[in-house]
Homo-oligomer: A and B are copies of this chain.
């Protein structure tokens, strides 16, 4: 058969033809009505060959869709392996088994709380947990190892308390500020998160629209489900977007991506520096584990199962050799401000300033990479006093992300010296549960909280925020209590309140 893939293809392939190529030796799959020969690609697939072989000779669209941007096949599979259109009528429909878990989810979707019952960002997460597909939830909600850093990210804010000023005129509150020169309504941005279509079939463009509505910036992820151009196209005139970049080993590809983004109007280049390798997330891995095969006991440790959930599927093409030596090159290929995303100690902030970049994001990648990485907010409290001592506090813009859930969190970061904060998962959850209205309401709630809390700490504008408004003495102490004495606590007879009269 001639694999020549011409637009003039007349005769469509049939399901029967495809079905014959169902082995590692010859593996075809159907995606969006077209067939592809991925035999040679199997060993290169970032998600491992196993998951492709599951669909060998079949239609893989449903599984493929949310975790690959639309231009993936064009980019990574040679044109000669694009086999052309398939007569989908001839493709056998797979009988889906009744999945009790999915039935339960559909039931929960019917009983979903209405949007007005969400009063804070955690509420969206509570709803999303109930209505998302298990694997999508696992991908979004998981973190590295024991997920201790992931939880510490919000936890750390609990160690910072306010020292409000009273009797300030706070009639008019202005929450606007600037980020990398762009005026925004509120001091947060939508940070880059991968695979938006796992949560909502429209994907990241929903975030684009939400950001526009509230006049905040969206950072476009390299690993979006939508293509970069789709996300740019969704932006309205004058809407500011930034690019988050995983640096490819092939610098030409990287250069192309960067310069394309600049051409499309991106106003900031955020180079991810905390992910030379994508993290192991066990919740994600476990959610992928299928009962198939579970009856066969593996007999040797050799055959370590390396299918590691959605995280691995997207981890290809990140260059672990990226280093400080590469920064001048980046400065040379773009005029966009360059920001290093994922800096985690004061020494590297100083080095970043010396290297000439315009900003850093103090971040641990949402707790998805290194467990026991410190929270961004804690690093910020380490960084700023050192910079101030050197008089360097204005030489770069410092952002923080991870764990932001309340306007009080944002205010704490700004008091400590951050220019703004990135928020990721909460908007994903709002989008997954309620689509654009969810994102809209989430942002509105933050705005309401922000205005109120600025009033309550006695600040009418962002520039009023300063370190004397917070008490951070507890922040740097990582406390783990002495393990409990179970014999002693079991035998303690706790006090109880007054007892009701017994029923008559």
Query: Measuring CB to CB, which residues of chain A are less than 8 angstroms from any residue of chain B?
Result: 108, 110-120, 122-123, 125-127, 129-130, 137, 141, 145-148, 151-152, 154-156, 158-171, 273-274, 276-277, 279-280, 282-283, 285-286, 289, 291, 293-305, 319-324, 326-327, 340, 342-345, 347-348, 369-374, 405-406, 408, 412, 436-441, 443-445, 448-449, 451-453, 455-457, 468, 471, 473-474, 476-483, 485-488, 490-503
Contacts and interface: CB of A to CB of B under 8 A. Distances in A.
Contact of A479 (B285, B449, B474): B474
Given A114-B297, A289-B117, A478-B482, A129 B493 contact: yes
A369 B456 contact: yes
Given A301-B437, A471-B478, A487-B497, A117 B286 contact: yes
Given A126-B487, A280-B452, 15 more contacts: A115-B298, A117-B294, A122-B488, A126-B490, A148-B158, A151-B483, A160-B478, A161-B478, A163-B344, A164-B274, A166-B343, A276-B455, A277-B451, A371-B408, A474-B478
Given A126-B491, A145-B406, A480-B159, A370 B453 contact: yes
A315 B140 CA distance: 39
Contacts of A487: 120, 122-123, 126, 146, 495-497
A141 to B, nearest CB: 6
Contact of A305 (B116, B148, B297, B344): B116
25 contacts: A114-B293, A115-B297, A127-B498, A146-B486, A147-B495, A154-B485, A158-B478, A160-B372, A162-B374, A164-B344, A165-B348, A167-B324, A169-B323, A286-B498, A299-B437, A300-B440, A301-B438, A301-B444, A302-B440, A372-B408, A374-B471, A474-B482, A478-B482, A479-B481, A486-B496
Quick one: copies of this chain in the complex?
4
A223 to B, nearest CB: 18
Contacts of A342: 166
A371 B157 CA distance: 12
A147 B319 CA distance: 45
A269 to B, nearest CB: 15
Nearest to A147: B495
Nearest to A447: B304
Contacts of A302: 440
A127 B499 CA distance: 9
B437 A300 contact: yes
Contact of A321 (B169, B286, B347): B169
